[in-house]
Amino acid sequence: MIQKTVQCPNCHVILSCSGSSGDVVEIVCTGCGTEGKVTFEKLISTKNAAIEVTNLTKVYGDLVAVNNISFTVQIGKIFAFLGPNGAGKTTTVEMIESIRQPTSGNIKILGKDIKTSFNEVKEKIGVLPQEFHSFEKLTVKETLMYFSKLYKKAADVNSIIDAMDLNDERKKYYKDLSGGLKQRVGVAISLVNDPDIVFLDEPTTGLDPKARRKVWEVIAGLRNRGKTVFLTTHYMEEAEYLADHIAIIHKGKIIAEGTLDELINKYGEESILRIKNCDSGNAVDVLKDNGFDAHAEGNGDIAIKIEFKERVLDVLSILKHECIDYENIDIRRSNLEEIFLKITGAKLSEAE
């Protein structure tokens, strides 16, 4: 617990409250009754850091492709680097992998500065590059055997084939696989040295929804096996589904960062509860009388803004108490697309 003192903006009484890192605590002034919220900033620990990036910049001629970014990836978590095409994702990930040289800034992997100790950490990372291709005329098993020979420490190829659910494909040529299977082979290749940290640059771009889901399962499985995953994507559903922590990058800068819940709490609108096909003409008035921000949508549905999840139950019990019938309910909360739109004014799917 962290203790914090704050001053009431109305009557200037000093108030004290306690909370944990990342909490937003509601507070009522003991002097004048003013209600407010106190935020306890999230303390980011570098103790369990898999990757620490500090003030990283990459300049190409007149273009600042990566503009003074800093972030930390915690061990055992899936970190999603989410942004539109051209945002600077690949440039960043390839600087961390030591494939590109930063213009300035520092990168540590597992506590080691990669400028001086990359050879030490090289064995601990696995990489799936963007738009990856492999040898057309090697089978899946031959492909994995080939790549595993490049490392001092090799994982058991058969267990990787099992984990990536590629058993039916082990004897098939790479060239004959579907896009989704090729990507799973790519993830499998990134695991041949049994790395602690896996970098996956846009692993599902261009895949159909079913193949994408399968790759997601495989990636979630990596976390279950204790790996740290650095994932870049321009699909917000992918970040929402997989990531423990999300950094949104736009035009070379990190514009927002946190867990999905933190991002939604900070930038999202309230959730909307929809009462579908409500049979009562006065339901909106009843809800308004009870302090809800409700309005009829003209098609029989009523939309109500929900600030706290407990308010959903309040709405439903009011409707029950008033014997107001309805067909169904639907609750929708903000998503990353809306958050991106709110911060940048552009749609994630359309921003370049």
Q: Which residues bind Mg ion (CB under 5 A)?
A: 89-90, 130
Q: Which stretch binds ligand ADP (CB under 6 A): 81-89, 188-196, 207-215, 291-299?
A: 81-89
In the complex with ligand ADP, the residue whose CB is nearer, 242 or 278, is: 242
| Cα gap 240→147, rounded to integer Å | 32
CB of 321 to Mg ion, least distance (A): 55
CB of 79 to ligand ADP, least distance (A): 15
Contact criterion met (CB below 8 Å) for 231 and 242: yes
Residues 6 or more apart from 51 whose CB is under 8 A from it? 72, 73, 79, 96, 107, 108, 109, 197, 228, 230
| Cα gap 21→38, rounded to integer Å | 11
Cα 222 to Cα 144, 153, 176, distances in angstroms: 17, 18, 26
Residue 272 structure tokens: 């909307």
Binding residue for ligand ADP, selected from 74, 78, 83, 238, defined by CB under 6 A: 83
**Greatest Cα pair distance in the chain:** 77
| Cα gap 191→169, rounded to integer Å | 17
**Which of the listed partners (ligand ADP, Mg ion, none) does 233 bind, with a CB threshold of 5 to 8 Å by partner kind?**
none
Residue 333 structure tokens: 């909360």
In the complex with Mg ion, the residue whose CB is nearer, 72 or 92, is: 92
Binding residue for ligand ADP, selected from 16, 18, 46, 85, defined by CB under 6 A: 85
Quick check: 60 binds ligand ADP (CB under 6 A)?
Answer: yes
In the complex with ligand ADP, the residue whose CB is nearer, 238 or 301, is: 238
CA-based end-to-end distance of the chain: 43
Quick check: 256 binds ligand ADP (CB under 6 A)?
Answer: no
Quick check: 243 binds ligand ADP (CB under 6 A)?
Answer: no
CB of 347 to ligand ADP, least distance (A): 16
**Which of the listed partners (Mg ion, ligand ADP, none) does 258 bind, with a CB threshold of 5 to 8 Å by partner kind?**
none
User: From its phi and psi, is residue 275 left (phi > 0), alpha (psi between -120 and 50) or beta?
Assistant: beta
Site track 87-126 with ligand ADP (rule: CB under 6 A), x = hit: xxxxx-----------------------------------
Residues making contact with ligand ADP (CB under 6 A)? 60, 63, 65, 83, 85-91
